[in-house]
């Protein structure tokens, strides 16, 4: 029987592009750093695609999370979905030709996730997808298209829960490509929670723990339509009369609030603090001590579950149903009356006990690196 020729070197490119991506790759880069001590032929480079590119949306996260400076920066910037995807593919393809990696690791579901996976596969380079198999069943969400297409392309699919495994198997993915490893976002949360809580960022805002709500909005389905965003803001105006609100405003949301003539009136509400985007540690300090979180963010749904803080998700569907199944999140949609009623119910009646997902234990990144290296060793890397 023929044996594989030994391969003394292996290069991996890890791609990140947005704030949630940085949270996911931070533990990966740390785990690879440990692996480098035992595999002299291993090279790992961090690629910043640049979908979030200013200091508020990028640099502060690198500092908080202890991420190394990117080895490669694509500097894609903003644009339509097609523009971002196309520009990323063109820029990343050039780097792939220069670098000749053995593996490309992509995370999450943003445009650069799909673009980099597609560019790599066109060149015959193996792709691993971290956070694979998540499905909202809503194909109107651009992220859902990115998830499904990236999973089809990927050679290794690393999942956060058993439901994601089932989704992939139902779509015909071979079981040997699927690896349930846990949640890298929770690796980061557990590592930094104590440091974040020590900040007591709520004090800087004149608040008391457990006596305020945190609000985030960024999805186009909520913020790009005048009627919908106006309705959400109407709900927030009512709620802030009953519970202080902290609202770090995403640049996209701020832009649309100005376009629709909403921001000036919001700034006059007496019980809401409209903030610039916060650093990871500042935000974690606030969410850890909130009475409730209102958001349309998938990552915040997961973090809220682990933190034990109720999350009202301003969407009709979620790609993270485990957060609903285990009692951490409730889907309330984006209608004003429903949002108000959900907050009042939480304040009046409390919240049921929450469960803890399997393998959300702070070691997901270590499992990913172990699987990847075992697979590569089986293919000849030593």
pLDDT, position 382? 67
Query: Which pair of tokens denotes residue 241?
Result: 């009369």
pLDDT for 1: 40
Which residue is catalytic, options 38, 192, 218, 225? 218
* pLDDT of 2 higher than 50: no
Please give the backbone phi and psi of residue 330, each rounded to the nearest 5 degrees, phi first: -125, 130
Per-chain mean pLDDT for the chain: 94
Q: Contact 116/110 with Cβ under 8 angstroms?
A: no
Question: How many alpha carbons fall within 13 Å on the CB side of residue 375?
Answer: 18
Q: How large a percentage of the chain has pLDDT more than 90?
A: 87
Give mean pLDDT, residues 242-264.
97
Confidence band (pLDDT; 50, 70, 90) for 51?
low
Give the CA distances from residue 31 to residues 11, 37, 312, 364, in Å, rounded to whole numbers and listed in that order.
Answer: 15, 10, 33, 10
pLDDT (0 to 100) of residue 18: 87
- Spatial neighbors of 103 by CB under 8 A, at least 6 apart, are 10, 11, 12, 13, 125, 126, 127, 128, 372, 376
Task: At 368, give phi and psi (nearest 5°).
Answer: -60, -50
Q: Is 10-183+360-378 assigned to CATH 3.40.50.2000?
A: yes
Domain 190-349 has CATH 3.40.50.2000: yes
State both tokens at 154. 């990927």
H helix or E strand, kind and range, residue 313: strand 311-313
Is residue 218 part of the annotated active site? The answer reads yes
> Among 45, 3, 101, 128, which residue's Cα sits nearest to residue 379?
3
pLDDT of 27 strictly over 70: yes
**pLDDT level of residue 54 (50, 70, 90 thresholds):** low
Task: Give yes or no for residue 311 having a pLDDT over 60.
Answer: yes
pTM for this model (two decimals): 0.94
pLDDT score at 57: 55
Q: What is the pLDDT of residue 7?
A: 76
pLDDT of residue 61 exceeding 90: no
Quick check: helix, strand or coil at residue 12? strand
Average pLDDT over residues 218-243: 97
Q: What are phi and psi of 43, to 5 degrees?
A: -125, 130
Task: Let me know: does 367 contact 175? Beta carbons within 8 Å.
Answer: no
Domains 10-183+360-378 and 190-349 agree in fold = yes
- The confidence score (pLDDT) of residue 4 equals 55
The domain spans of the chain are 10-183+360-378, 190-349
At a CB cut-off of 8 Å and minimum separation 6, what does 244 contact? 207, 211, 212, 213, 271, 272, 273
Residue 55, phi then psi, degrees to nearest 5: -60, -40
Q: Report the C-alpha gap between 358 and 374 in whole angstroms.
A: 23
Residue 360 — pLDDT band, cuts 50, 70, 90? very high
For CA atoms 164, 170, 171, 173, give the dihedral sign: positive
Taking only the tens place, the pLDDT of each residue in 185-230 is: 999 999 999 999 999 999 999 999 999 999 999 999 999 999 999 9
């Amino acid at each position: 029987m023929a044996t594989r020729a030994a391969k003394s070197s292996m290069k991996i490119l890890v791609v990140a592009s947005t704030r949630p991506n940085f949270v996911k790759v931070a533990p990966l880069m740390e785990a690879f750093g440990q692996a480098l001590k035992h595999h002299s032929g291993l090279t790992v480079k961090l690629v910043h695609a640049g979908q979030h590119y200013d200091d508020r949306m990028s640099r502060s996260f690198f500092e908080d999370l202890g991420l190394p400076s990117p080895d490669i920066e694509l500097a894609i910037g903003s644009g339509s979905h097609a523009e971002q995807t196309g520009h990323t593919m063109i820029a990343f393809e050039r780097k792939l030709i220069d670098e000749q990696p053995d593996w490309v690791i992509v995370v999450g579901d943003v445009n650069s996730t799909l673009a980099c996976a597609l560019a790599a596969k066109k060149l015959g380079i193996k792709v691993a997808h971290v956070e694979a198999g998540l499905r909202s069943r809503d194909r109107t969400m651009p992220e859902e298209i990115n998830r499904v297409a990236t999973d089809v392309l990927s050679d290794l699919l690393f999942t956060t829960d058993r439901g994601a495994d089932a989704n992939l198997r139902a779509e015909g993915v071979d079981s040997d490509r699927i690896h349930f490893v846990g949640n890298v976002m929770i690796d980061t949360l557990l590592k930094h929670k104590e440091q974040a809580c020590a900040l007591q960022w709520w004090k800087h805002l004149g608040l008391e723990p457990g006596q305020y709500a945190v609000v985030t909005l960024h999805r186009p389905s909520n913020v790009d339509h005048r009627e919908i965003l106006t309705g959400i803001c109407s709900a927030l105006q009512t709620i802030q009369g009953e519970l202080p609100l902290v609202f770090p405003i995403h640049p996209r949301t701020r832009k649309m609030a100005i376009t629709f003539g909403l921001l000036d009136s919001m700034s006059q509400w007496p019980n809401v603090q409209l903030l610039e985007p916060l650093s990871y540690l500042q935000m974690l300090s606030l969410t850890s001590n909130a009475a409730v979180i209102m958001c349309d963010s998938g990552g915040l749904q997961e973090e809220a579950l682990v933190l034990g803080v109720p999350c009202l998700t301003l969407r009709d569907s979620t790609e993270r149903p485990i957060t609903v199944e285990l009692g951490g999140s409730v889907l309330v949609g984006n209608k004003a009356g429903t949002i108000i009623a959900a907050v009042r119910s939480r304040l009046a009646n409390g919240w049921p006990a929450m469960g803890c997902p399997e393998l959300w234990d702070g070691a997901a990144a270590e499992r990913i690196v172990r699987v990847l290296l075992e697979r590569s060793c089986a293919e000849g890397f030593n």
